[in-house]
Structure 1
Amino acid sequence: MTTPVTSRNRAKAERTDAILVAAAALFGARGYSSVSLEDIGAAVGVSGPAVYRHFAGKQALLGALLIGVSEDLVAGGTAVVHGTADERIRMAMLVDFHVDFALRNADVIRVQDRDLSHLTQGSRSDVRRLQRAYIGLWIDALGALVTGEREELRLRVQACFGLLNSTPHSTSAALRTRTDTARVLAAMAMAALTAGDG
């Protein structure tokens, strides 16, 4: 039997999501160490102590943010992989999926790059495990298109991620529409993934 979702539960879930979004923005702009729970609470209209109703503390909040995003990437990537039997289309769809993620989640990418060390050992292990699973999806998809040892495929994939995830650190993306930016990034990513093959 499914427990009905009450308006109170829905409101709590929405507040939790709002806290995660605010934390990503503040951590991304100022760094984990320079942001307090009071800052995050103020950004969503609650007191700092009220944040404890949703997260055990700032470190737990960081863990929920980075683990949640990593889970979303694995789930989304898995759905893409199972969405088509065409090998080239599958790879292009994975690229498009990650381009969209990078353009929508610049703050989270900054936090991941800079503040991963602030996670607990357990949370960091969870993030790394999910990252390996996501990279594995890409390696398997690329292996259907490009000849090479698995470690070479991994190098290609990680270099592609470096290209796409550098977007938040670049001001050039602001000079184009999002559609133009996505098109250019996707073309560059596919070229990088398959460069020198054959």
Structure 2
Amino acid sequence: MTTTARTDAPTRREQILKEAARLFAERGFHGVGVDEIGAAVGISGPGLYRHFAGKDAMLAELLVGISERLLTGGKRCAMEREKDSAPPEALLDALIEGHIDFALDDRPLITLHDRELDRLRESDRKLVRQLQRQYVELWVEAVRETYPALVEADARAAVHAVFGLLNSTPHLTPAGSLPGRTATAELLHRLARGAFAAAADGV
């Protein structure tokens, strides 16, 4: 199972969100002004209001958006596995690969989620949690099919532990010191599968 990489140029709205995520992650939500976000994409601060109502709207779209994207990607993997009649571990591997892509390519969003989720409106925060629960359930089902000996509670605990492992990428050494994206992705994949196998071996 593979995912198709996007090749078209990002929209101005997407450019704004990318720079907002980077700046929020680096300096904190309250440490960044609208003018600075505008300058990062080459437009005036007030010009941002043609795209977003303000910083709160940007933060909400970033955090709700990535939760939606991960869930959509996970559901697509499940549909492809069913269509191809692939073995259970194929779905688990696809889920791991998709999450690793996120963890390596969108590190600022991990930092934002950890630091700024409580700043969202209650309705947006509840939506993020709802999407995340559905995403977790996709993983739990894939793990239990791959490792039938794992009971549901243990599978869920293992999934959250693997998320902690994969989402540690913002704390890795600077990119120039890493063994390269491909090697890092392969290492994370081995560690994730190893964690699930270890959980199953302990049963």
TM (norm. structure 1) is 0.89
User: For 2:197 and 2:50, how far apart are their aligned partners in 1?
Assistant: 48
User: For 1:159 and 1:14, how far apart are their aligned partners in 2?
Assistant: 35
The equivalent residue for 1:169 is: 171
Letter in 2 for 1:61: M
User: For 1:18 and 1:62, how far apart are their aligned partners in 2?
Assistant: 14
Letter in 2 for 1:39: E
The equivalent residue for 2:88 is: 87
* 1:24-173 alignment runs, 5 A limit: 24-84=21-81, 85-146=86-147, 147-171=149-173
The equivalent residue for 2:3 is: none
Match of 1:187 among 180, 186, 190: 190
Distance 1:54 1:97, change over 3 A: same
TM (norm. structure 2) is 0.87
User: For 1:191 and 1:89, how far apart are their aligned partners in 2?
Assistant: 15
User: For 1:51 and 1:122, how far apart are their aligned partners in 2?
Assistant: 24
User: For 1:62 and 1:172, how far apart are their aligned partners in 2?
Assistant: 25
Letter in 1 for 2:100: V
8 Å CA contact 2:158, 2:199 repeated in 1: no
User: For 1:43 and 1:26, how far apart are their aligned partners in 2?
Assistant: 9
Deviation at 1:172, TM superposition (A): 6.8
Per-residue CA deviations over 1:19-77 (Å, capped at 9, x if unaligned) read: 11111111111111111111111111111121111111111110011111111101111
* Structure 2: gaps spanning 5 or more residues: 1-8
Per-residue CA deviations over 1:3-33 (Å, capped at 9, x if unaligned) read: xxxxxxxx9x811111111111111111111
The runs of 4+ residues in structure 1 deviating greater than 4 Å are none
The equivalent residue for 1:6 is: none
The equivalent residue for 1:7 is: none
